Amino acid sequence: MPFVRRPETRPVSGQPTVEIRRADVTAPAAFPDLTDVDVVVSALGIGKGDGQGTLIAGARIFADVPVRTLWLGALGSGSSAGAGGGIYQWVMKAIVGEELAEKAAADSIALDGGATVFHAPDLRAGSVSTGRRNIPLEDHAKPVLPPYASRAAIAALMLDEAERPTRAAGIPVPVGRI
């Protein structure tokens, strides 16, 4: 079930079984109860005009609830700084800049709360690949060229993990033909 700040601005999914709940991580007192949720798949991001603190606020909320959490992080931030290779890290610093510190802090909070934090590379349009897989960060070899993946493949990998858990809290890196 999607949690969104303003459900009225989201297109209808076309899936009558998908319930959308209003949720704003910057207003924790009004955040919906999660006792009926088995797993949270979070792709929380920083929107235009959000300012600092959104990712940290979200990580704190999910770290404080007894729900298995799958958190989308970014390759090249926090624990995976440099893991995308030198060119990729330079691009991350140039484009993401100051948000890298917030991403790292949010990932740390999520990990401390027991979340699995996916460190995905640059996201692009594309399809889901059958060759997709996750590997532990410590087994990830730095690529020469900047890595990327389709949004659909990353979403599929996170849903695969939600449906068939393969690991405890940690940092998987999506790899393969994604």
The domain ranges of the chain are 58-178
Statement: residue 118 has pLDDT above 90: yes
Query: If DSSP codes are grouped into helix, strand and coil, which group holds residue 155?
Result: helix
Strand partners, 122: 148
Q: Which two tokens stand for residue 118?
A: 């996916």
From 29-33, 136-140, 174-178, the region with the lowest mean pLDDT: 174-178
Residue 5's pLDDT band (boundaries 50, 70, 90)?
A: confident
Give pLDDT tens digits for 52-71. 899 999 999 999 999 999 99
Class of domain 58-178: alpha beta
pTM for the structure as a whole: 0.89
CA pair distance 69, 40, nearest whole angstrom: 5
